[in-house]
Structure formats: structure tokens, C-alpha cells
Structure 1
Amino acid sequence: MIETYSETAHTEAKAYVEHVFDTVVKRNPHEEEFHQAVREIFDSLVPVFAKHPRYREHGLLERLSEPERLIAFRVPWVDDSGRVQVNRGFRVQFNSAIGPYKGGLRFHPSVNASIIKFLGFEQVLKNSLTGQPIGGGKGGSDFDPKGKSDLEVMRFTQSFMTELYRHIGPDTDVPAGDIGVGAREIGYMYGQYKRIRGASEAGVLTGKNPLYGGSLARTEATGYGCVYFVQEMLASAGLGFAGSRVVVSGSGNVSIYAIEKAQSLGATVIACSDSSGYIHDPDGLDLAAIKRIKEAGRGRISEYVAAHPHAVYTEGCEGIWSLACDIALPCATQNEIDVEAAERLIEGGVKAVGEGANMPSTLGAIERFLQAGVLFGPAKAANAGGVAVSALEMAQNSARVSWTFEEVDTQLHRIMERIHADCMRAAEEYGYPGNLVVGANIAGFLKVADAMIAQGVV
């Protein structure tokens, strides 16, 4: 059933959304990434406010776009030369209407308040879509783990946790990994938290090693989940991965396991990248070699061509989207696909785009994909698999049990199927059939909004 409303209601809803967006921009000047995330979500919600004025009456947008708490702190540490270094740490606790704050920690030089707030805002609706009882948060630091020794990373993460521990807990705020934060960093932080607290609270962090409370399939979850979501998108159009050419940006956990799952479904993945450049192997990437380089050796993707002379390495990442492909999975970082890159993908015959990274496509690129009829899976839906399995890790920690890889993967697959169905249903109901950007935003928003109304003005 398609929701209907008068033109007057639509005009009033549009004016309300624009007014709140203007307030967000004035209150958060120069935070372009945050503005972009807010703009994309707000525009999708106009039909909701037109149909249901009570959401306006409860000031939902004003409350939803303002974090419950933003924490910034100094992180001093000593490098291997004995010099004192200082970085800045952040944690945004954005919304707890449906559960404890949940979201990753990013260690990267680009991290600032705007990046953390955009990620936290997106996380609220993403976590809602999973159907799990988790609110939205995000955190990180401008510390760069690249080129650092294990001891330097340990000193930094211990200092970081010495402040962060005050603000987190299994029923309060549960961080996880993100760019620059993998099993090594999570392990050091969990050890420091445990030392300070004097207690073993496994549920305080997710993405842990299964040896001490982590979940099997957590490492694979975001990449696998992205492919499961895209698989549902393709099926809705009578398509599939089998026989398709796929380009995946990045070469971290998300990228590696998106490649693995896509290959298992019969796709030929022809390219991936890191921050220095990209490799193109027209015969299909050798995933085992990529894992040796990136997971075992922490090396650069350029090393791939030494053992694969038929492959080509190109400096710089932008050109990866010039490669002709059927499916594109941007899994590296925000805004890596702009309008120009989108045009190149469309010219190359792309049929589907699934966002494995957070907000990897600009608003203009998304609009161009939709205009061209490309199947488009937005990040808050397509990459929700990671946080979904983090919630399953929390459940295992609470129950003091460990599930098998197959049990977790089966639940992940079902969650991604349900997210796709919920997004399709919401898009249809509000007059945008097939538009998963609108569908994801509306489906995620409704659950959070109803919970916020039920809990009063807090």
C-alpha cells in the first residue's frame, strides 16, 4: 500500500525538514561530512513527516540530529624513540533509544568531530535496520597505526582506553573496530579496560579474538553481509553474481571478505586497492595472495604484481572506477565515488553498486546511479552485517556461550535478507518503489522515532 498525503502536507513537511537542516548547519559549521549525512537522510524523510505530523510535533528531527553526548579527549603516548606524542580521541554517543550505544572506533589521520558525527548519525539508523536492540555511536582518533610498531600501537591504545573506559560498558556503550582498528587494537584496548576495571566484562567491546569472547564470523561479517544484501538486490531484478565482473575498492577486512563471498558465488573479482593505488587482474584476483600481503604481512597492495606479472598496479585510487564491471563494491572510505566516477561506472556497464564502506558515494553520485537505473545498496543497509554480528557477539557474551561459524553466518544471512525486504517495503509504502536509499532511511527512522516518542522528551 502506497502512503498518500496532500500537497499541503508535503509542502509543510519539506519546510520543516529544511528548517531543521539549516539549524544543523548553523550549529555545526564547517562539518561537511556531517552535513552530507544529515542531508541524505532528511530528504528521504519528507514523506514520513507529510503522512505522520505527530513526528514533527514531537521534534524528532531536532532531537535525532543532536548527539546525546560528544566526548573529546587528549591521548598522550610515547613512541619508540622516547618522544612524547599527542593525539585527539573522540566518542559520540548519538542515540540510545533502542539500546546501548554501538559503533566502531576509527584510527586514521582524517578523523575529526565531523567524521565521527557523520558516522554516528548513520550508525543510529543502520543499527535500527538490523533489528537488534542497539543504539548508535562512533569514535576514534587521528592516530595513524600505519608504520607504527606493535609496542607503539599498544602504548597508544592503552592511553586511549585509559580515558574511554569511563564512558563505556556492556550495557552503556559497546565500541568495536573500524578503519585502522582490527584484532590487534581491540585486544590491546580490551586488556587495558580489564586491567583498569579489575573485572572481565567481555561484552564491553566486540570484534574480539574468539579466544577471549569474540564471535566466529565477525571478521567476515561486513564483507559477507554486503554481498548477501547485493545478492538480494540482484535477485529482485533477475540477476546474480555468477559470471559477473566485480570491482572492490579497499583491501581491509570488508574488502577481503566481500571478495571471498563474491568469488564463492561465481563472480570474477578483477580489482581491489589500498590507499596507495589499485591492482587490476583481468583473470580474477588471487585472494590467498592478497590475504598474505594485507592480513599476514600488513604490506602494500602493489606487492601483488611481483608474483602475478599479468596483473597491473596503478598509483592512485580514482582510476579503479574506470574499469568496466557489472558490480561495484566500494569498501574503502567515504566519498570515494563522486559524480565523475559514477559516470565512468555507468559507461562501463555497471548494473549494481553495494556500499561496503560508510558513505562511499557522494550525494551527486547516488542521484546519478538512481537516474541511470543502477541497483543501489546504501551503506546503512548494505554494510550493516558487521554491526549485526557485533550484536550477536554481545548476545553470546551475555549468555556465556559461543556459536559456530555456520550458526552466526546463517543468522547474518537472514538479517541481511530481512533488511533488504524491510527497505523495499518502506520504499514501496512511501511512494519510492525500488529506491533502497529512501527505503533504508525510512525503515531505520521509524523504529527509532517510535521508541523516542514512547520514552518521552529525554
Structure 2
Amino acid sequence: MSNLPSEPEFEQAYKELASTLENSTLFEKKPEYKKALAIAAIPERIIQFRVVWEDDKGEVQVNRGYRVQFNSALGPYKGGLRLHPTVNLSVLKFLGFEQIFKNALTGLNMGGGKGGADFDPKGKSDSEIRRFCIAFMSELGKHIGANIDVPAGDIGVSGREIGWMFGQYKKMTKNWEGVLTGKGGSWGGSLIRPEATGYGVVYYVDHMIKYASGGKDSFAGKKVTISGSGNVAQYAALKVIELGATVVSLSDSKGCIISTDDKGITPDMINTIADLKVKRKALTEVANTSDFSDKVKYIEGARPWLHVGNVDVALPSATQNEVSKEEAEGLIKAGCKFIAEGSNMGCTQEAIEVFETARKEKGTDSIWYAPGKAANAGGVAVSGLEMAQNSARIKWTSEEVDEKLKDIMKNCFENCLNTAKEYIPSKDGEFPSLVGGANIAGAVKTFAAMKDQGDWW
């Protein structure tokens, strides 16, 4: 990695995966996988392009567009499109690298990729965003297809933007095909797709709780701290409430809201937040709303982790590196037993080390940490189910999709658990490492497919 230009986000993701593999027995049992890792760390293809569009004043604007087609051993490249001023090649390589192994853990035939542009939708009119999407797809559309690369939404790309991009792709190619996921429900989209990542995180944690308690415990009565207030956080919160737990926090880039009411953050409050997010407004609006001002407090410039008091479960669901070493230590002191990433690489490497050290030291009173590549795989899993429905020209009911999602998250948890038991030595009474199991399970499946196809030998 040392001969590459500095790519801090990607280097962090690579080192996190590589260190897990090195500290397991994988390379002892399969030393040839060291070469497979070195090859998998380099994308199959990186596409970079300019996006020229016209603003409402008639002035020409330009942005940088990207698509990292990282690995296609298991299927077409699959991963979201992010529109945000922080987008650069390092961020997209990190996300694409994580996506390879996340997609492998779903059990579906999907490779890994990621894309986007350094375009900022905030402050732009609907017409400007539409013109940008058309210009962006005018170039990206040359490089994707239902059996080549199937992008989806990510930060800054909702169903509306997917619709504009899909329309432009159709005009360019004359093909109606499952080339983008997250489509509208009446024209190829899957039911449960908006809810899938948040629901999936909660289903995964439910298995963590049940395994840790020998099947005796559940979400009921638990206090849950969640960061973020977008799609993932909203639906995770609603599912947590449905399962009988209390949500005590949400956040955005400017601060967090902490519940001051025994009932916690309610579905009504979450629906209000969802409406605000569509209008691109901040959480301060909720804290200042007369209906909720006596039920939450707003803390400017802070994440929730050190402000929520005693909690049982933490679900980082905003962005990368949102839990620091200090915050990880604070969560453990607050009694938190289960941490699962709704966001990608939500915890810093130092925070992961805090959780993993606590897991080893606490025995049956252990700390359980689940990485995003496993815990938040539900979103891309239902994208894969959308691809299947498009290919078959059918549409499943909400109940059918939800049952398939539950099965995928159950299998993902058991795969991570059993792989950890197989490859990571542990002492009596020590709970298995889910982060280790996730990394190894995703890597083994990907590397084996790459070898079969001649990507390494």
C-alpha cells in the first residue's frame, strides 16, 4: 500500500480487514490468500469524468464524477452513488472495498462498487439537481448495465434522483432494465427497500442479543442510542420501537437530540424528522417544535454517545468514523453491550480495538461489536432482491421481501459467528469476534470466486 498516494479512508478500510485476516488462522490454513488480498485491494476499474451542468442563472458549473468498479467475482458491480462535497477517490475506494465483502455476506450474486460526485445538493433547486443528474448519467450510463454494474442511492441520492438518472439512461440506451435499484414502486422498485438497511441492522442485533443470552433476551425494554436521522436511522428507530425498546437519541451533522422523556423518541417525532429531512432542514427544528420541545434536548456540535446516560444498544447510523476511542470507552461505561454499525465504517479503528478488548476481557458479560459490512448489509440485500424481481418481471409483497430480508440477516449473523469460531482462536468463555468473522467470511467467499475465474492463481 505504501507506493500509493495518500488515501486515508481507503487505507483505514484496507488495514482493518487485513489486520483481521493476519490475526486469524486464515493465512496459516490458506497462505495463498495473502496474494489474493493484494490483488483484491486494487479495483478492477476506476472511471473518472467531468460533469458539466447549467445552474438556474444559466451559468456553467462543473463537478468531478466517479465510479469505482472494484470487484465482479460474485456478480455485477453493486453499490451506491453519493452526491456530497466530501466525495473523492479515497472515500469511494473505501466504500467500494467494504461493499465487496458486504455483498458477499448477503449470499446474493453481487460484486462490489461505489460512485458519485463532489456535487452538493444542499442549496440547489430541484431543477438544478435534475440537470446535474442528467449530466452525470450522460457519462456514467456508458459504463453500467443490468449485467455489468447496478448503482443505487446513497447520501444525496434518493428515489427522486434515481428516477431522473434512470430516465436519462433509458433515453441513451433505449433499454428498460434493472440498471439502478431504489426505483419507484410503480416502475420496478422493491417494497421494503427504503426500510431495508435500518430494519436489517435491528434484525442482526436481535440475533446478537439472543445468542448472547442463550435465547432468553430480546430488544424488549432495552435503551437504544442511534446516530443519524436519515433513512437508516429513521427505520432502525421505528423497528426498535416496534420490538419494544426505547430510542433515546438521533443526530445530524450539526448536533444531536437526546430524549428527556421516559417514552423516548416516538414514531410521531421520527415522522416529523423524516419530513424535515426531505426539506433538507436540521434537527434543531424538531427540538424547537412546540409538540416536542419538552421531550428532547438539542446539543449543538455533539454526537450522542457521551450524552445519553445508561444504554444497552448503540447503532451508529450517520457516517464513517463517528465513534471515537473516547466515545467507545464512554459507551462501555454507560453499560452498552451491543454496538452495530448502520453506517459504513462507523467506528474508528481505535474504537473497534476498545470494543474487541472489552469482548475478550468480559467473558459472559461481553461486549458485542458488529461491523457495517455485516450489520448494514440489509440495504444492499434488498437491492439484490430488487434486481431479481426486475429480471423475472415480478413484484413480491412487503411480507415476502421482509421474510427474505430476515433470512438473509439471520444467515449473515450465523456465517460471521461460525467463521469466527473456525478461524479466530479464543479462550473458554470468550464470545466470538463478529468483526473478525465478517471480514474473513466475506474475504474467503470473494477470494475463492476470484481464483476460480483466474484473477489469481
The answer to whether the Cα contact below 8 Å between 1:72 and 1:89 also exists between their aligned partners in 2 is yes
Q: TM-score, normalised by structure 1?
A: 0.92
Equivalent in 323, 326, 329 of residue 308 of structure 2: 323
Query: What's 1:247 paired with?
Result: 225
Q: Which amino acid aligns with 1:337?
A: V
Equivalent in 286, 302, 305 of residue 266 of structure 2: 286
Equivalent in 114, 119, 140 of residue 164 of structure 1: 140
Residue range with higher mean Cα deviation, 146-155 or 166-175: 146-155
1:360 aligns with 2:346: yes
Encode CA deviations 1:285-319: one digit per residue, 9 max, x unaligned: 12333323334544221111212122111111334
Encode CA deviations 1:47-96: one digit per residue, 9 max, x unaligned: 2111112334xx20121000000111111111222222111111000000
| Equivalent residues, number | 431
Structure 2: distance between partners of 1:298 and 1:205? 24
Encode CA deviations 1:355-408: one digit per residue, 9 max, x unaligned: 000001001101101222321111000000000000000000000000001100
* Superposition map of 1:309-458 within 5 A: 309-310=293-294, 311-324=296-309, 325-373=311-359, 374-432=367-425, 434-457=432-455
* Superposition map of 1:21-36 within 5 A: 24-27=1-4, 29-36=5-12
Structure 1: 5+ residue stretches without partners: 1-23
* Superposition map of 1:88-127 within 5 A: 88-127=64-103
Provide the secondary structure at the position in 2 that maps to 1:376.
strand
The answer to whether the Cα contact below 8 Å between 1:322 and 1:345 also exists between their aligned partners in 2 is no
Structure 2: 5+ residue stretches without partners: 360-366, 426-430
Structure 2: distance between partners of 1:304 and 1:281? 12
Equivalent in 308, 319, 343 of residue 292 of structure 2: 308
Provide the secondary structure at the position in 1 that maps to 2:3.
helix
Identity %: 54
Query: What's 2:428 paired with?
Result: none
The answer to whether the Cα contact below 8 Å between 2:153 and 2:162 also exists between their aligned partners in 1 is yes
Provide the secondary structure at the position in 2 that maps to 1:75.
strand
Structure 1: distance between partners of 2:59 and 2:301? 32
Equivalent in 61, 64, 67 of residue 37 of structure 2: 61
* Superposition map of 1:80-229 within 5 A: 80-201=56-177, 203-229=178-204
Query: What's 1:274 paired with?
Result: 252
The answer to whether the Cα contact below 8 Å between 1:290 and 1:304 also exists between their aligned partners in 2 is no
Structure with higher helix content:
1
Structure 2: distance between partners of 1:400 and 1:69? 30
Q: TM-score, normalised by structure 2?
A: 0.92
The answer to whether the Cα contact below 8 Å between 2:10 and 2:94 also exists between their aligned partners in 1 is yes
Residues 263 and 156 (structure 1 numbering): CA distance in 2 closer, same or farther, change over 3 Å?
same
Provide the secondary structure at the position in 2 that maps to 1:91.
strand
Provide the secondary structure at the position in 1 that maps to 2:247.
strand
Structure 2: distance between partners of 1:319 and 1:171? 42
1:260 aligns with 2:242: no
